[in-house]
Amino acid sequence: MNIPANNPNLKSWVEVPANSDFPIQNLPFGIIQTNGDSPRVASRIGDFAIDLKALFVLGYFDNMPFSREDFDTDSLNAMMMKGKEGTRKLRNRLSKLFSTEHDDLQKNEHHVSQVLVAMSEVTMLLPIQSRDYTDFYSSEQHAFNVGCLFRDPDNALLPNWKHIPVGYHGRASSIIESGVAIHRPKGQKKPPTADVPVFGQSNLLDFELETVFFTYQGKPLGDSISTKEADDYIFGMALFNDWSARDIQGWEYVPLGPFLGKSFASCVSPWIVTIDALEPFRIPGPKQDNPKILPYLEYEGEKHIDIKLDVIIQPENGEENIVGQSNYKYMYWNMNQQLAHHSVNGCNINCGDAMGSGTISGPEKGMYGSMLEISWKGTKPFKMSDGTERKFINDGDTVIMRGFSEKDGVRIGFGEVSTKVLPAK
């Protein structure tokens, strides 16, 4: 697939620091606010936000299928309604404007000063308004680990796991942007030694290292999206911390699945990296022939992606501690399969729908994506650099997730998603 903006040889006239997540080959999308001005759509290059509303007003998006209202707004949804073709044209136009090969913008310093905003002056907002959120359970090692912890290691995966991308409907209203602190949740728990449940704060608060993808407008109710069509309906990805209160969840989830143990908060990184920008990092997925998957889940080509992922705990006023290093390539089910399965019953997919990957764990210790696995249900505490230990997350801890792909000298990153835990109210 030839996407001009992905050319690894492109250079920008904007200075981009070495090892930046945001070279000219990335050009993600997000929502910025500065000095009390109204929120607006932006992209990013290096340490600068690119004000797309300003670019539109100055005439740099002439002959493109966008209006001012698509950028003068507090979410990416209106822009995303132009579909894959529209956002691809937009990213390619941005690539031209900021490439050393074109000087239309560069030669006009007055325009540059209106378009480029230092990230130090920017507040990032929630990028997409999601009416619906689905969380999948698609990392085989994570599902195996959880099966070992709660069931029988010889039968760790449930019988359906390799036949369907297991998922559940989550709570879209509590998806929040990076930097927003959360309070420790409360609910019913049933301690192992108790005969009846008790009410109180969660003592087993956990992160889940995930990614999330967001959709363009899908097909009408009753129609489905095939694995072949799925690429046209997937806009981009972000990092996703899908918080989990293990003690609340453990009491409530049988028979209908997660509820209060999950619905209190899910945190998303502010820049949405387009699937177009991630195309160069596609890799083959695992063989899915034991058991053989059903035809509607079969796909062609390389649909998995190599994305390095770190999860970090930073105590209050303390150092960062990397507690897990995983990779999105360890997924069993890919996004195309997840979307095809989600819609195969005729469920309609809307613009901005959020689809969580599920916890991403690699095959070895040190690659696990939750404290449940890292501390092996609290039996093997993680030793922190300050001498303390963590079985789960303490009040005052900040959990940070970072991720990037790298190949042929080009690094496409997501920045980070960061959330501090405050005491229960």
What's the confidence (pLDDT) of residue 235? 98
The Cα–Cα gap between 239 and 179 comes to 13
The Cα–Cα gap between 257 and 76 comes to 31
What's the confidence (pLDDT) of residue 345? 98
Q: pLDDT, tens digit, for every residue of 99-130?
A: 999 999 999 999 999 999 999 999 999 999 99
What's the confidence (pLDDT) of residue 1? 77
What's the confidence (pLDDT) of residue 3? 96
CA nearest 368: which of 351, 355, 382? 382
Residues in Cβ contact with 174 at an 8 Å cutoff, skipping those fewer than 6 apart: 263, 264, 265, 266
Q: pLDDT, tens digit, for every residue of 349-380?
A: 999 999 999 999 999 999 999 999 999 999 99
Work out the average pLDDT over 19-36.
Answer: 97
What's the confidence (pLDDT) of residue 247? 97
Residue 84 — very low, low, confident or very high, per pLDDT cuts 50/70/90?
Answer: very high
Q: What percent of the chain has pLDDT over 90?
A: 99
What's the confidence (pLDDT) of residue 104? 95
Question: Contact at 8 Å (CB) between 205 and 156?
Answer: no
What's the confidence (pLDDT) of residue 178? 98
C-alpha to C-alpha distances, 334 to 47, 126, 234, 251, 318, nearest whole angstrom: 32, 25, 12, 30, 37
The Cα–Cα gap between 56 and 65 comes to 11
What's the confidence (pLDDT) of residue 294? 98
Work out the average pLDDT over 38-55.
Answer: 98
3-class secondary structure per residue, the chain: CCCHHHCCCCCECCCCCCCCCCCCCCCCEEEEECCCCCCEEEEEECCEEEEHHHHHHCCCCCCCCCCHHHCCCCCCHHHHCCHHHHHHHHHHHHHHHCECCCCCCCCCHHHHHHHEEEHHHCEEECCCCCCCEEEECCEHHHHHHHHHHHCCHHHCCCCCCCCCCCEEECCHHHEEECCCCEECCEEEECCCCCCCCEEEECCCEECCEEEEEEECCCCCCCCCCCCCCHHHHEEEEEEEEECEEHHHHHHHCCCCCCCCCCCCCEEECCCEEEHHHHHHHEECCCCCECCECCHHHCCCCCCEECCEEEEEEECCCCCCEEEEEEEHHHECCCHHHHHHHHHCCCCCCCCCCEEECCCCCCCCCCCCCCHHHHCCCCCCCEECCCCCEECCCCCCCEEEEEEEEEECCEEEEEEEEEEEEECCC
- Catalytic-residue membership of 183: no
Question: Contact at 8 Å (CB) between 238 and 127?
Answer: yes
Q: What percent of the chain has pLDDT over 70?
A: 100
The Cα–Cα gap between 105 and 111 comes to 7
Q: pLDDT, tens digit, for every residue of 132-164?
A: 999 999 999 999 999 999 998 999 999 999 999
Q: pLDDT, tens digit, for every residue of 204-234?
A: 999 999 999 999 999 999 999 999 999 999 9
Residue identified by tokens 């945001």 is 22
Residue 71 CB: number of other CB atoms within 10 A? Answer: 22
Work out the average pLDDT over 249-273.
Answer: 97
**Domains detected in the chain:** 4-125 (2.30.30.230), 133-422 (3.90.850.10)
What's the confidence (pLDDT) of residue 321? 98
What's the confidence (pLDDT) of residue 36? 83
Residue 60 — very low, low, confident or very high, per pLDDT cuts 50/70/90?
Answer: very high
The tokens describing 306, both together, are 């190599």
Strand partners, 398: 314, 420
| Confidence check: pLDDT of 15 > 90 | yes
| Confidence check: pLDDT of 172 > 80 | yes
What's the confidence (pLDDT) of residue 185? 98
Catalytic residue among 111, 142, 341, 342: 142
Work out the average pLDDT over 394-419.
Answer: 98
| Confidence check: pLDDT of 2 > 80 | yes
